[in-house]
Structure 1
Amino acid sequence: MKFIIAGLGSFGSSLGMALTSQGHEVIAIDSRMQKVEAYKELITHTICMDATDEYTVNGLPIVDTDIVVVAIGEDQGANVMATALFKTLKAKRLISRSINPLHEKVLQAIGVDDIFHPEKESAMRWAKRLSLRYFVDSYSLTDNFSIVEIGIPEALIGKTVAALQMEQKFNLKLLSTMCYEHYEDSFSRSQRRPHIQGLATPEQVLQENDVLVVYGANKDINQFLRSVGVKAH
């Protein structure tokens, strides 16, 4: 996948390095040459430019980029301007950093696809979330064990929980399934919230919009994802 990251602060640089290490192509931009130089050997491409300057930003391969992440956090105004600019330039998927609740409402009004809060969320967690096609979210319990949310792969739609044989084949526990309900926020924009469907039962039939909530060792989770055709890292 191809990413553009605007802002090489603590979160942006960590995200850029994590995605690069996973084999993705990352273009990281920052107006500070010191930051650009610091990460040029660790991120695929680093460029010194102003993310709020339409002329220079328009020269980036936005149309060929899968996800644009605006990670600017020091300057709320620059964050909003850069986010609006990438939205105007028709980024396929646009994610931006929220600094406070009011700022989050402004980002929602712009129409971003997702909002992150780096003070609460780790760059590694977002790198994993952005890297896998069916990956929704994760909660690390220890260095080796996690609870993960996985959007149901097409190959599993219509199968029962028992047919997956997750415990027998992969030593994993399917705790529950969930789906996301859509609603309108205060700007009349479509948002979504999770709805837990209860403990998974052997006879439960998996549906198209289900999200699987799975517990187990990270290596076993990756093996399961590979078995159903999902690229795992």
Structure 2
Amino acid sequence: MARRVLVIGIGSFGSALVEALHRQGAEVIVIDESAAAIESVKDLCAHAVVADGTDPRVLAAVEATSCDSVVVSFGEDFEASVLAVASLKKLGVREVAARATNQRQSDVLLAIGATRVIQLEIEGGRRLAEELVRR
């Protein structure tokens, strides 16, 4: 059975994530306030919604609690990330990954219930270093 993944926020990271999840056979659901962002990924998704991904009513409507994983992929909008993670945890979502731009944000997201935090610049730098050393 395919894993069901909700992605909230469709920027560069969110779009790449949706494409990769689709290629790997996941059932992908997306939420973003931008109709253009939703339009760019809708063909890769089981369900695509133009809405506020921090709104608990929206999260309940897309059945976030039935997802195997939820990824909060807001870039620079830390407040939106906090609101989304808090809403998801209050609904009872178990696995919530969130994007942070620095360690302080990472610490806050973990403190409010995110089960994984992604810092793209740090993880990308480490991955590149590993690839360079293995050559």
Q: TM-score, normalised by structure 1?
A: 0.51
| 1:121 CA displacement | 3.5
Structure 1 stretches of at least 4 aligned residues deviating more than 4 Å after TM superposition: none
| 1:6 CA displacement | 0.5
Structure showing greater relative contact order (alpha-carbon pairs closer than 8 Å, 6 or more residues apart)? 2
- Deviations 1:14-53 (Å, cap 9, x if unpaired)? 0111011111101011111110011112333321110111
| 1:62 CA displacement | 1.9
Which structure shows the higher helix fraction? 2
Query: Could you say what secondary structure the match of 1:34 adopts?
Result: helix
- Separation of aligned partners in 2, 1:63 and 1:39: 22
Whether 1:14 aligns to 2:13 is no
Query: Could you say what secondary structure the match of 2:93 adopts?
Result: coil
Equivalence map 1:1-233=2 (5 Å): 1-121=3-123, 141=131
- Separation of aligned partners in 2, 1:116 and 1:94: 11
> Which residue identity does 2:74 align to in structure 1?
I
Change (3 A) 1:86 1:20: same
> Which residue identity does 1:114 align to in structure 2?
R
Query: In 1, are the aligned partners of 2:28 and 2:44 still within 8 Å (CA)?
Result: no
Percent identity, aligned pairs only, is 35
Query: In 1, are the aligned partners of 2:7 and 2:14 still within 8 Å (CA)?
Result: yes
Q: Which residue of 2 aligns with 1:191?
A: none
Change (3 A) 1:46 1:120: farther
| RMSD of aligned residue pairs (Cα, Å) | 2.1
Change (3 A) 1:118 1:43: farther
Query: Could you say what secondary structure the match of 1:112 adopts?
Result: coil
- Separation of aligned partners in 2, 1:60 and 1:4: 9
Structure 2 stretches lacking a partner, 5+ long: none
- Separation of aligned partners in 2, 1:93 and 1:110: 13
| 1:55 CA displacement | 1.7
Query: In 2, are the aligned partners of 1:4 and 1:67 still within 8 Å (CA)?
Result: yes
Query: In 1, are the aligned partners of 2:8 and 2:74 still within 8 Å (CA)?
Result: yes
| 1:140 CA displacement | 7.1
Query: In 1, are the aligned partners of 2:18 and 2:41 still within 8 Å (CA)?
Result: no
| 1:92 CA displacement | 2.1
Query: In 2, are the aligned partners of 1:17 and 1:43 still within 8 Å (CA)?
Result: no
The structure whose Rg is larger is: 1
Of residues 91-100 and 113-122 in structure 1, the stretch that sits farther from structure 2 once superposed is 113-122
- Deviations 1:107-149 (Å, cap 9, x if unpaired)? 1210211111122346xxxxxxxxxxxxxx9x9749xxx8xxx
Query: Could you say what secondary structure the match of 1:40 adopts?
Result: helix
> Which residue identity does 2:69 align to in structure 1?
I
| 1:102 CA displacement | 1.8
Change (3 A) 1:44 1:121: farther
